[in-house]
Amino acid sequence: MQPFVLYNSEQRKKVEFVPRVEGQIDLYVCGMTVYDYCHIGHARTVVAFDYIIRFLRSQGWKVKYVRNITDIDDKIIKRANENGESISELTGRFIDAMNEDFAKLGCLAPDVAPKATDYIDQMQDMIGNLVDKGTAYPSNNGDVYFEVEKFAKYGRLSGRKLEDMQAGASERVDVEVEKKHPFDFVLWKHAKENEPSWASPWGNGRPGWHIECSAMSTCCLGNHFDIHGGGADLTFPHHENEIAQSEASTGEQYVNYWMHAGFINVDGEKMSKSLGNFFTIRDVIEKFHPEVVRYFIVSSHYRSPVNYSDVALKEAKNTLSRFYHSFKTYQAVYGDHLVETLDEAFVERFNAAMRDDFNTPEAIAVLFEINKELNRAVKEENAEQAAIYYATLRHLTNILGLVQQDVDEFLKSDIGQEALGLSPEQIEDLIQQRQDAKKAKEFARADEIRQSLLDQGVVLEDTRQGTVWRRAD
C-alpha cells in the first residue's frame, strides 16, 4: 500500500493519511434522514465516498465503512403524522427506497448501517456521562443541553469563534430561556404529545440529532477512529457538535480526519424545494441512465461544487458512451477476453491521481488517454496492444464503478441511442448499404454514407474482420 493524501477539513489543507491501525481504515459517513426519497445532493455524497472506498480497497486497504440511518427526527414525526402512518412504516419504506436508489447508482452497501432507534441506550449513556462531568445540564422541562462554553475547542472544525457567533446570535438563533448560552445544543428532548419517547433519567423523551451520530459512530468504530465524512452542509453545526460532545464524553480525540463532499447547485442556484429546483434521485434516473448520473458525479472532484443541469447530464451521457463504443469496437474484433497484463504506466498515473486527494478529473483524463490508445490499436490491428489497453481500461473503470453495464444492452437503451442520434440497428443498416455500394463499385455512394455517419458522430473502421463502428472521440 502506497501512502495517499486527503484534504482534512479541520486543518484546511491536504495531509498524508496515517492510519491508527496499519493497513486499516475506519470510516463513518453521516447518512440520510429517512422521511422522503433521497435527492441528487445525497447521491453526490454517497457516490463520492463509494468511489473513494473502492479505490482504497483496490490499493489493499481494509476499509470498514459505516453509514448511519436517522430514523427518528422532527421531520420524520411530522411526515408520519401527515400521512397517518406509523413512524416505522414510513422509515421502513424510505430505507428500502434509499437502498434501491443507491444500488442503481452502483454504490456498495456500507459494512454497517446503524439505525438511531437501535442505539437509544448508548445515547443515554453518553448524555449521562456528559451530565456527570458537568459539560451538559438538564433543564426544568426535561430537555438536556450541552454547554458549549465548557468545551474550550468548540468551533475548531468550522473555524468559528464562540464569541464572534454570540455577537450576532440574536439575529440567527432562537434563544430559549432554558439555555445558558444561545449555542448550547440539545442532547435529549422532553416528550411531547403524539411523539415517540423513551424513558430516561431526565424523563420520557427522545435524543437530539447530534448525539445520535456520536453514539452510533463510537459504538461501531470506537471512541477514536480514522475518518468522518459527510456533506459540506453538515460541517456546522452537526459535525462541530459531534466533536464537542464526543471528546467531552470520552476524553479522547474523536476523529483524525474530516472529509466533506461539495454542494450540488441546480442551474447555478442552491437546490431548494421552495425554488422548484429540487430533484430526487428517482426524478433524475427517469431521464438519464443511473450510470450516467454516477459518471456526472465521479467526473468532478468530490470537494468541488457541482452544477446540475440537463445540459451537464447530456454531456455526461455522451462522454460515458464513448467508453462503451470503444469496448464494442474492441469486442467486435477480439471478443471480451481479458488478458492479465496491464499497462503499468497508465495504471500508476491513474493511482497517483487518486492518491492525491482522490482527484477523479485527473484520473478520468488518464482513462481517456487509454481509450484513445485502444481505438488506435484496434484501427492498426495491433491485437497485443489492443488487448492490454482494453484490460487496463476495464480494470480502472471498475475501480470507479463505471462502464459496468452490458455493452450491447447499454447501447441499445434509449440513453445509448440518444447519445448517438442513431440506433445501433440504423447504423448497421447504413454499414450494409455502404458494403453493397462498394460491391457494386458505387464508391461515391459508399463515401457519402461514411461521411453521413461521421457527421452524426459515428466513425467507421474497416478491418480484416469487417467494418466496425464507434463513437467519435
Q: Binding site annotation covers 153?
A: no
pTM for the full predicted model:
0.89
Is 23 exposed, middle or buried (CB count within 10 Å of its CB: 0-12, 13-18, 19+)?
exposed
pLDDT at position 177: 62
Rounded CA separation 174/163 (Å): 17
DSSP, residue by residue, 233-277: GGIIIIIHHHHHHHHHHHSS--EEEEEEEPPEEETTEE--TTTT-
**Amino acid letter at 345?**
A
CB proximity list for 5: less than 8 A, separation 6 or greater: 14, 15, 16, 17, 355, 356, 357
* Short-list 143, 120, 24, CA closest to 70: 120
pLDDT at position 412: 72
pLDDT digits (tens, 9 = 90+) for 172-220: 445 556 899 999 999 999 999 989 999 999 999 999 999 999 999 999 9
Mean pLDDT by 10 residues, the chain (473 residues): 96 98 98 97 98 99 99 96 96 98 99 99 99 97 96 95 67 62 95 95 97 98 99 97 98 99 88 81 95 98 95 93 94 94 99 99 98 96 97 98 93 59 80 89 87 84 78 61
The H or E element spanning position 315 is: helix 310-334
Q: Binding site annotation covers 107?
A: no
Backbone angles phi, psi at 308, to 5 degrees: -85, 130
Q: Binding site annotation covers 273?
A: yes
CATH level 3 topology of 21-270: Rossmann fold (3.40.50)
Is 212 exposed, middle or buried (CB count within 10 Å of its CB: 0-12, 13-18, 19+)?
buried
**Which stretches of 381-439 are DSSP H helices?**
383-400, 407-412, 414-420, 424-439
pLDDT at position 172: 43
From first CA to last CA, the distance across the chain in angstroms is 34
Architecture of domain 309-471: Up-down Bundle (1.20)
pLDDT at position 170: 45
Q: Which residues pair with 264 in a beta bridge?
A: 306
Residue 193 C-alpha cell reads as 404529545
pLDDT at position 456: 81
pLDDT digits (tens, 9 = 90+) for 401-427: 999 999 988 877 755 455 556 777 788
Q: Tell me the three state secondary structure of residue 127.
A: helix
